[in-house]
Amino acid sequence: MTDTPQLPAVSREWHLVSRPVGWPQADDFALVEAEVRQPGEGEVLVRNAFLSVDPYMRGRMSAAKSYTAPFELGKTMQGGAVGEVIASGAEGISPGDHVLHFGGWREYATVSAKQAVKVDPAAAPLSTYLGVLGMTGLTAYAGLLRTASFKEGDSVFVSGAAGAVGSQVGQIARLKGASRVVGSAGSDEKVKLLVEEYGFDAAFNYKNGPVAEQLRAAAPDGVDVYFDNVGGDHLEAAIGSLNVNGRIAVCGMISIYNNTEPAPGPKNLARLIQTRGRIEGFLVSDHYDLQQQFVQEVGPWVASGQLKYRETVVEGIENNLEAFFGVLRGDNIGKMIVKL
């Protein structure tokens, strides 16, 4: 193991102390100090530089059975993070290297080298490996191209379109030859961003009127693909505007994550019979085989400026929780990042 002088003794980290009912509250969490564990064989100690907070984390705060294990009470929470290796007990990773890993919600993380991926801060800003070139980017790419079977000439509707995933979905669709790209967002500022910066053909503020009516006005010829980040009235509206052989990829349903009672389903599911439509949910973890293809195709778009991205950056581990709350409220434009 490589010895590095003046390694930290303690790290601040966030624990889940009670399971939220409805909207999470500050007293469901605690910021604590924990001893930093030196890396053993096959491990690395990372000083985190950027942390990710994401909507899916709300589901892990519940004890309900899901596709991934819930956060443990009284234990450090987890999430995507990128940082600098300061001590290593692993072959192939040295102090000074930068890695992407899953030991977020803390200042320092000791993780298995098998679960750490080396990244190059010279090739792209470190924060992008949590967003546009990371899991959120791959989510957009796989969901649109594989799950929704996008093809050139399709008309595409994206909900939550100013978020990290949605903004990338719309731009990839445009770069791949969509006939029309429409997005919904929660503010007039975000609507302007979608059209003027991200190149959407049309966008609307879902708070300004019924989603179904606004979607019909924005996509009068219907939609072939709907990428769902919201659920609820957005999903029902998309089914109502779906063209024959239309496809719906369900990535998330943030509108129901904090519900205390089951949300009612769309009232117009029977329309899928007429349209021969398809709805399919997906998880990015099922599509890691696309990672290399994704980076090869999307990386040059990002480097050339053809695919634009935004980040909302909150500074300080002490503000990690507020950044997460901000994601649930829709405060972020693009990827929500915590900078340490």
Query: Going residue by residue through the chain (340 aa), what tens digit of pLDDT does each one get?
Result: 444 457 888 999 999 999 998 899 999 999 999 999 999 999 999 999 999 999 889 989 988 777 778 999 999 999 999 999 999 999 999 999 999 999 999 999 999 999 998 988 988 889 999 999 988 999 999 999 999 999 999 999 999 999 889 999 999 999 999 999 999 999 999 999 999 999 999 999 999 999 999 999 999 999 999 999 999 999 999 999 999 999 999 999 887 777 767 777 899 999 999 999 999 999 998 998 998 899 889 989 998 999 999 899 999 999 999 999 999 998 888 899 999 9
DSSP assignment letter at 288: G
DSSP 8-state code for residue 113: G
What distance in Å separates the CA atoms of residue 228 and residue 297, rounded to the nearest whole number? 23
d(C-alpha 20, C-alpha 170), whole Å = 33
CA atoms within 13 A on the CB side of 213: 6
User: What's the pTM?
Assistant: 0.81
Q: Which residue has the tokens 């379109």?
A: 161
CA distance 278 to 292: 28
Nearest to 1 by CA among 42, 47, 48: 42
CA dihedral (112, 101, 329, 223) positive or negative: negative
Phi, psi of 307, deg, nearest 5: -110, 115
Tokens (6 digits) for 207: 């708070």
